[in-house]
Amino acid sequence: MAIDFKVYTDGNREYFLWEAPSGKKMKKDFEFTQSLLDFMDLNMENDFDTFNDMGKIVQELYQQKKDNLVSLRATLDKLALKHIYFQLLRLKWLDKLDDYENERYHGKVYDFMPYKSLTHIPMNIITAQNQIKFMFDRALDSTANPKEPIQKRMAALYKKNTLNADKVFDFRPIPLNFERVDDSAMVEVLHPDSMIDIVDYLMREIIRREISFKVCKSCGKYFPAIAHGNTEFCNRLFQDTGKICRDIGSLAKWREKVAASPAILLYNKHYKTRFSRIRAGKITREIFQEWAALARDYRDKVMAGEKTIEEFEDWLKSGRWV
């Protein structure tokens, strides 16, 4: 039984639809380009053994050795949690294994289930990652020849007789259909045969829509230049901090600003001193808040050049305000 896995985008979000083995209709969506950027970040170096082990189990099936079928299915389930593109791989191979067990295939079993289509996956992914990274660096980065449109930059990469032939992504025919996706839209829908088909489709959409990317100044990874205004930081989780890069970056920029501004340093010093007096019961919260509002106003005037830092310090030390 052929599976029906669909991918499409409206330019704002990307959608993945499929039918689970249980028959349940499934759908996941992401911010447009997110799945491709996550694909670029996949670390496949430690997965060669995983795919080689799956290949060995498939080879055992050629001799009707079925002891490791449960293990193979479990590995496919685990991979599907690693990235949405692996969901397609999982569904296709679960379908193959079901047909194998029920003898619903024709010809030789090794033609029906070629083990190399599994063992070659890590290297195929790494190759695609390198090609996409090259294209991002040379054409899709917002700082790469910004005066030229993306289409022109891309065309230059694919110019014949250049040294880029083995570095750029190899676009090939992909199974697209124009169809209804909901009550209000008809769009081009991809029915992928492989994970690389999904990469191919999304790269086309990025180029066609002329979307450029920035490098996050926190994690060093790409994110859409149009998605978050003029920010220099992405919305990925930063390492194991539990915070996103944008929050980490905003905090770092604030600290830089504080370190560079004597007025802010002076304000913060006196703010802490007066705030501690609330806890000690020496002043009320209302009096403190009144002082803080005046102090912030004085601080901002110093930063705008309307007052001097010496005047601000004299005012803070004058004792006129708690």
Cα torsion angle, 157, 163, 167, 170, sign: positive
> What is the arrangement of strands in the sheet containing 25-31, beginning at the earlier edge strand?
25-31, 13-19, 6-9, 185-190, 176-182
Q: Is residue 66 part of a domain?
A: yes
Tell which of 136, 164, 181 closes a domain.
181
> Same domain, yes or no, for 143 and 287?
no
Q: Which of 58, 80, 55, 82 is nearest to 69 (CA)?
A: 58
Number of domains forming the structure of the chain = 2
Q: Which domain covers residue 299, as residue numbers?
A: 261-317
* Residue that terminates a domain, selected from 135, 163, 181: 181
Task: Tell me how far CA of residue 297 lies from CA of 211, 263, 315, in angstroms.
Answer: 42, 11, 12
Residues 296 and 165 in one domain: no
Is residue 140 domain-shared with residue 281, that is, in the same domain?
no
For residue 79, is it within any domain?
Answer: yes
Residue 37 lies in a domain: yes
Q: Is residue 224 part of a domain?
A: no
Burial of 164 (0-12, 13-18, 19+ CB in 10 A): middle
- Assess if residue 58 is contained within a domain: yes
Q: Mention every residue, 6+ apart, whose C-beta is less than 8 A from residue 278.
A: 284, 285, 288
Global pTM exceeds 0.85: no
Considering the domain architecture, whether residues 268 and 177 belong to the same structural domain is answered as no
Q: Provide the residue-wise pLDDT of the chain in tens; the chain has 322 residues.
A: 578 899 999 999 999 999 988 889 999 999 999 999 999 999 999 899 999 999 999 999 999 999 999 999 999 999 999 999 999 999 999 999 999 999 998 899 999 999 999 999 999 999 999 999 999 999 999 888 778 899 999 999 998 777 787 899 999 999 999 999 888 889 999 999 999 999 999 999 999 999 999 988 777 888 888 755 567 788 776 556 667 787 665 555 655 555 567 888 888 888 888 888 887 788 888 888 888 888 888 888 887 888 898 888 888 888 655 4
Rounded-to-integer distance, Cα 12 and Cα 206, Å: 11
Domain match, 46 and 144 both: yes
Whether residue 193 lies inside any domain: the answer is no
Say if residue 170 is in the same domain as residue 266: no
Same domain, 48 and 168: yes
Q: Tell me if 162 is assigned to some domain.
A: yes
Compute the distance between CA of residue 228 and CA of residue 218 in angstroms, rounded to an integer. 15
**Together in a domain, 14 and 155:** yes
Beta bridge partners of 16: 7, 28
The domain boundary residue, chosen from 124, 154, 181: 181
Co-location of 159 and 283 in the same domain: no
Q: Are residues 275 and 176 in the same domain?
A: no
